[in-house]
Amino acid sequence: MKQIISHKLSNINLKNEILAGLTVALALIPESVAFAFVAGVSPILSLQTAVVMGMVAALFSGRPGMISSSTAAISVVMAGLVASHGLEHLFAAVILMGMIQLLIGVLKLGKYARMIPYPVMLGFLNGLSIVILISQFDLFKVNIAGGREWLQGSDLLIMLAFVGVTMAIIHFLPKLTRAIPASLAAIVVVTVIAVLLGRFGGYHMQTVQDFAGMTLKGGLPQFYLPQVSLSLETFRIILPYAVISALVGLTEAVLTLRVIDEMTETKGHTDKEIIAQGLGNLANGFFGGMGGDSMIGQSIINIKSGGRTRISSFVAPLGLLIFIMFGSSIINVIPLAALVGVMFMVVIGTFKWESLKYNGKIPRQDMVVMLAVTVITIFSDLATAVIAGVILSALAFAWKKGTEADALIVDNPDGSRTYKLNGSIFFGSVLNFQELFSPKEDPEVVIFDFETAKVMDYSGVEAINTLVEKYEACGKKVILNHVGRYSMNLFKDARKITSIDKQKIEQPPHC
């Protein structure tokens, strides 16, 4: 056992894990601040949410290397609750959200995430990359009395130039050395240049402090019991927000897990990750947090910076905590251009560029699903997009399978007629299937041969039963042949409500 543990530890690049975590910690700052404004809470509350969520999820995660924090998806859902009932109900809703996620994880319902088709994944990634891109545009604005306005003239050009410098460092540095994560190096270099420019050049670049509208400095998260009454009325208020947030959070977590699995060619544990998300939100509620889930952008930054284990996932929130407690002077002077550049590179790495070449090379219905999920992700939310994508994929699959059901007609020497059935007989194909037969014109004995067909559901059983009844009403005999075990069990279970029994089913000797 000691040898196994020693071998595992020897495979961990501790320097890369720590530096990757610190890179993510810096990248979390502007996002957490922005999400605070969306939810209507203070930036410090959002940052402390990132700390608690990140630490707990990292400790119990089923996907080492994945980053969890406060997120846009949860912020949007909870904004209405904060506006109508205040922070105390928010904290209570986050606790209930964590309980729901824990229940889903304990019941091992994560397996149903495997139902998400690949075109939905592609649409999600493309839509999410566009959402990340659009979210960065607000950082090109400046605070003024009464709101925020776009940067103009030379200010805009200078910021774009520094964004370009950041992206160039991230792109080219790995070709020279991988000693430190390129994103971290880019942030440090651009921050130093911005500080020198402000001190000796007299030009002030927009910083994290400018964006937040305040000096970011906080302390350790404190245990807190929400000051709400334990009543049915409170439960009625928070339940809808808790359920929607739980499902949105788990959808994003499961999809992020699958993306990281693909990037690292390893396999995470879905149900374990769901439990980790639940524990993270449960802890957040009791520490006065706004709730959160996994972050695909920061997770990709972590993986590309060399983070592969829980170490980097834990260092990120720990580093963020240290920054807001002791390094606020460093955080506040980081130029927004550096962080925008990092996120722009995430956008480039997240978008599935090969999908632009898919038109005409993959089934049309898959293209429709992918585009639909992309558009819905941009204009609505992730959970709605994924649910819509799964439904569209299922309908497209049912339609395709439904059109494949057919039958070859064979007239036998003894005067009987055999219908050699082909395809799946289920709710999507029964209408086409029933049109293949002619009870009035067929001979006295008709054989339905199921050797290359399969009855999939009760709709299929009822379709066969309806045909048998039509033939019997015409005084004709129907025989079901080569009925497979699965179809036989369906007929057997439904024998009390159909006219089909074993006497109508004949199996060849080898069966």
Residue 410, H or E segment: strand 406-411
| Model pLDDT, residue 492 | 73
- Model pLDDT for residues 452-479, shown as the tens digit of each residue: 888 888 888 888 888 888 998 999 988 8
Enumerate residues 6+ apart whose C-beta is below 8 A from 31: 69, 70, 72, 135, 295, 297, 298
Parallel, antiparallel, or unpaired for β 147-150 and 141-144?
A: antiparallel
* The predicted structure's pLDDT at residue 167: 94
pTM: 0.71
- pLDDT score of 2 more than 50: no
Domains of the chain: 2-356 (no CATH), 405-506 (3.30.750.24)
Q: Does pLDDT of 237 surpass 70?
A: yes
**Among residues of the chain, what percentage have pLDDT more than 90?**
29
Given this model, what pLDDT does residue 314 score? 95
Whether the per-residue pLDDT at 158 is higher than 50: the answer is: yes
Q: What is the DSSP letter of 207?
A: B
Would you state the pLDDT for residue 6?
Answer: 46
Q: Burial of 440 by CB count in 10 Å (0-12 exposed, 13-18 middle, 19+ buried)? A: exposed
Contact residues for 223 (Cβ-Cβ < 8 A; gap 6+): 286, 287
Q: How far apart are CA 38 and CA 8, in angstroms?
A: 42
Residue 384 pLDDT: 78
Q: What angle do CA 352, 356, 362 make, to 5 degrees?
A: 100
Nearby residues of 271 by Cβ (< 8 Å), 6 or more positions away = 62, 105, 108, 109, 110, 111
Q: What tens digit of pLDDT does each residue of 402-423 get?
A: 777 888 899 999 999 999 988 8
Whether the predicted pLDDT of 489 surpasses 90: no
Alpha-carbon distance 216 to 226, whole Å?
24
Asked whether residue 5 carries a pLDDT value surpassing 50, the answer given is no
With a CB cutoff of 8 Å and minimum separation 6, the contacts of 178 are 306
Q: Residue 1's pLDDT is what?
A: 44
Strands annotated E in 441-507? 445-455, 477-481, 505-506
